[in-house]
Structure 1
Amino acid sequence: MTEDRAPAVTAQQLLTMMSAVRKTGVLRAGVDLKVFDALADGPADAETVATACTADPRGTRILLNALAAIGLLEADQDLYTLAPGAERILVSTHPEYYGDAVRLAASDYEWDAIKHLGDAVRQGGTVMNTNAETPSYTFWEDFAELGTLNTQPVADLVADELLPWSDASDDRVKVLDVACGHGFYGYTLARKDPRAHIWSLDWPNVLAVTEANAQRLGVSHQAHFIPGDMFEAPLEGPYDIVIVANVLHHFSTERATQLLRRMADVVRPGGKLVAIAISTGDGRPADDPIPHLFSALMLAWTSEGQVHPLSAYEDMVTAAGFARPKLHTVPHNPLRVLLADRI
């Protein structure tokens, strides 16, 4: 093998890929049944775990052995214990619990889309009647409730970048958060700057969760809500800041630019755009697989969506009426933050 060639594809490699769905199913069952919670206090046998999980003993034993087979548990005779690290990210009472991510990344929503990927490739977009662009799609309620581990570090970065700029204003800082979902980007800024008032725009079913998040975070007195379609809902304004997060990859470059132009119309001159998206890089796909796999999901889940190169997002921003954006990143995080001034 030379340096510029990938290793040869093997049957074992394909078998590992094909069996991934089984590993995902085993993990999801373990999280759904709270198996890891049942083992949080120490070793237990299958019958004890079955009782704690209100499950069948034989079925529980099979699941426990499968969880041990993929390294999430350790098995010793008839006793099972948590594998090192599992007590931190798989026990639901721990602050670093990661099991909620299973409801998103291993959800039926994504599987129902990706299993039709071949048909989406033939058609050039989703073949699903109910998909990520459908009003009242309930996946977005789960997304709003849970967020991801990538969200808060990016929200902190955005707030820290905006605070010195917003400090120059003595008045209320008006922020429009488009397709807000959980609302964490705007609400993180609101928690750090009491002058910030956030107008959250999303489908009505999602905003019910967003509003609950505002109350939980203690910023409900700074929160306002705009129900409806981001391309059609009345936006009012003008705003000092507009946040467009995790949505540009749902559209073609033309449609995404149209959305950004609509945002530019409601941002005051000198105001700020915050665009947050996953982007592909200039290297080989194998060197950075996450955005390319996510792009395949967008193909199966939307009519025209895909993950765009960073240069394409920059061109969208400038074509919409903003200055050339500045790029900000968080280490080990696939999200890219583009900050741009309204010309």
Structure 2
Amino acid sequence: MGQVPVTDTPQPGTAPAGVVAPVVDRHGLTHLAYGFMASKALFAALGVDLFSCLAAGERTVPELSASTGVAAHRLATLLHALAGVGLVVAGPDGYTNAPAAQRYLVRGAPGDLGDYFRLQVAQQVYPALLHLDAGLAGTGVAFDAWSGLLADPGEARVFTEAQHAGSLGPARRLADRLAPAGPCSVLDVGGGSGAFSYALCARDPGVRATVLDLPAVVDVAREYRERAGLTDRVTLLAADAVRDPWPGGLDVVLMSYLLSALGDAEIDVVLAKAHACLRPGGLLVVHDFVLHDDAPGPAPAALWFLQYVASRPDAVSFSGATLAARLRGHGFAPRRPEVLIPEITKVIVSSTAVPT
């Protein structure tokens, strides 16, 4: 389901981790109210591949106009806005990328997240949030849950390509943390492009994975599997995770960003299925947005939970403690949650009982 990038270390003057600084003045209010304008400036710059045009160093407005095809006077206005929010740096003769833009927004860079922002956030999440008021009131939603949106082949492609771009880094970190060894069967439920499965397979040659997702998503995942050269180790299963059966006798079930995208009752359905399809001693790995147990926030995770309210009336949020309680209710023994993406996601690994 939805995917998000790694956040940077909090800047000086901000509240420490786990502490939410209250808004105390008009400046703080306007910063929040105008935040959507900065988002649109970012999306517009990605749309014309502006950050890639600045990858080699400082360039003038006329040079950038020639590269992007945007009229110089309009491009100058966009550059002023981008400089104002810190995404580019204005110099005496032109503009350069800010460090984060150079690292994460240049096409093809090792940390490239541009397609994730440009496709999923700009074209799916942002428009969906226009329906948040109706979602809160229970009078309407942006679309019929994510499964409804992803039934459309075009939307499924946008979503899956964006998710893949945003998943590569977290997938490698999760694979290193789990460190599978020897023969291991993995079911990647709601696995999208299969990025997490490919990372696990790259970590150990004994891993065999099945990626279960909706048919239109699987059609796109097939292309990524081919590129990864894993057609003999990764099976693609077109199915609805809530309504259709899962294979059994598995060592690991992975759910990345799945539970947050489901309705309250559906979470219980998939947790019960996970327990039923795991062998005794098998592991359930949940990677998702997770709230603090004893304090507000973290803000990015809380906001991601909120956006689901725009698309389904039964969306819920959860902390590590509340999710662990649900896992125990389905026969799992959850370990302590561990941060994967700071301020956004955590991983909870749960085991099934081994018969004595």
User: Is the shorter-chain TM-score for this pair beyond 0.5, marking a shared fold?
Assistant: yes
**Are 1:59 and 2:70 an aligned pair?**
no
Give the secondary-structure state (helix, strand or coil) at the position aligned to 2:337: strand
Structure 1 counterpart of 2:222: 211
Structure 2 counterpart of 1:294: 304
State the shift of 1:261 in Å: 0.4
State the shift of 1:153 in Å: 5.1
**Are 1:133 and 2:147 an aligned pair?**
yes
Structure 1 counterpart of 2:322: 312
State the shift of 1:13 in Å: 2.1
State the shift of 1:8 in Å: 5.6
Counterpart pick for 1:177 among 185, 188, 200? 188
Question: 1: distance between equivalents of 2:91 and 2:169?
Answer: 39
Contact 1:183 1:213 in 2 (8 A): yes
Give the secondary-structure state (helix, strand or coil) at the position aligned to 2:171: helix
Go from structure 1 to structure 2 and tell me whether the alpha carbon gap of 1:283 and 1:323 turns closer, same or farther (over 3 Å shift).
closer
The amino acid across from 2:191 in the alignment is C
Go from structure 1 to structure 2 and tell me whether the alpha carbon gap of 1:25 and 1:196 turns closer, same or farther (over 3 Å shift).
same
State the shift of 1:94 in Å: 2.5
Counterpart pick for 2:237 among 214, 226, 237? 226
Go from structure 1 to structure 2 and tell me whether the alpha carbon gap of 1:307 and 1:140 turns closer, same or farther (over 3 Å shift).
farther
Question: 1: distance between equivalents of 2:204 and 2:228?
Answer: 13
Go from structure 1 to structure 2 and tell me whether the alpha carbon gap of 1:148 and 1:194 turns closer, same or farther (over 3 Å shift).
closer
Normalising by structure 2, we get a TM-score of 0.83
Question: 2: distance between equivalents of 1:212 and 1:303?
Answer: 34
Go from structure 1 to structure 2 and tell me whether the alpha carbon gap of 1:68 and 1:157 turns closer, same or farther (over 3 Å shift).
closer
Question: 2: distance between equivalents of 1:84 and 1:336?
Answer: 26
Give the secondary-structure state (helix, strand or coil) at the position aligned to 1:304: coil
Unaligned runs of 5+ residues in structure 1 are: none
In terms of Rg, which structure is larger? 1
Contact 2:264 2:314 in 1 (8 A): no
The amino acid across from 1:262 in the alignment is K
Counterpart pick for 1:269 among 268, 275, 280? 280
Contact 1:226 1:233 in 2 (8 A): no
State the shift of 1:259 in Å: 1.0
Structure 2 counterpart of 1:239: 250
Counterpart pick for 1:259 among 270, 284, 299? 270
Moved more, 50-59 or 97-106: 97-106
Contact 2:281 2:352 in 1 (8 A): yes
Structure 2 counterpart of 1:117: 132
Alignment of 1:34-45 (within 5 A): 34-45=49-60
Structure 2 counterpart of 1:145: 161
Give the secondary-structure state (helix, strand or coil) at the position aligned to 2:81: helix
Counterpart pick for 2:346 among 330, 336, 342? 336
Question: 1: distance between equivalents of 2:279 and 2:294?
Answer: 37
Question: 2: distance between equivalents of 1:312 and 1:194?
Answer: 35
Moved more, 188-197 or 134-143: 134-143
Contact 2:115 2:161 in 1 (8 A): no
Aligned length, in residue pairs: 333
Question: 1: distance between equivalents of 2:163 and 2:215?
Answer: 18
Question: 2: distance between equivalents of 1:66 and 1:8?
Answer: 24
Contact 1:264 1:321 in 2 (8 A): yes
RMSD, aligned CA: 2.7
Contact 2:298 2:344 in 1 (8 A): no
**Are 1:91 and 2:87 an aligned pair?**
no
Go from structure 1 to structure 2 and tell me whether the alpha carbon gap of 1:23 and 1:234 turns closer, same or farther (over 3 Å shift).
same
Moved more, 239-248 or 144-153: 144-153
The amino acid across from 2:276 in the alignment is D
Give the secondary-structure state (helix, strand or coil) at the position aligned to 1:243: strand
The amino acid across from 1:127 in the alignment is V
The amino acid across from 2:175 in the alignment is A
Cα deviation code 1:40-60 (max 9, x no counterpart):
333333222111112222222
The amino acid across from 2:217 in the alignment is V
Go from structure 1 to structure 2 and tell me whether the alpha carbon gap of 1:247 and 1:119 turns closer, same or farther (over 3 Å shift).
same
The amino acid across from 1:216 in the alignment is R
Give the secondary-structure state (helix, strand or coil) at the position aligned to 2:232: helix
Give the secondary-structure state (helix, strand or coil) at the position aligned to 1:197: strand
State the shift of 1:263 in Å: 1.9
Percent of aligned positions that are identical = 24
Structure 1 counterpart of 2:14: none
Structure 2 counterpart of 1:199: 210
Normalising by structure 1, we get a TM-score of 0.86
Give the secondary-structure state (helix, strand or coil) at the position aligned to 1:96: coil
Question: 1: distance between equivalents of 2:324 and 2:100?
Answer: 40
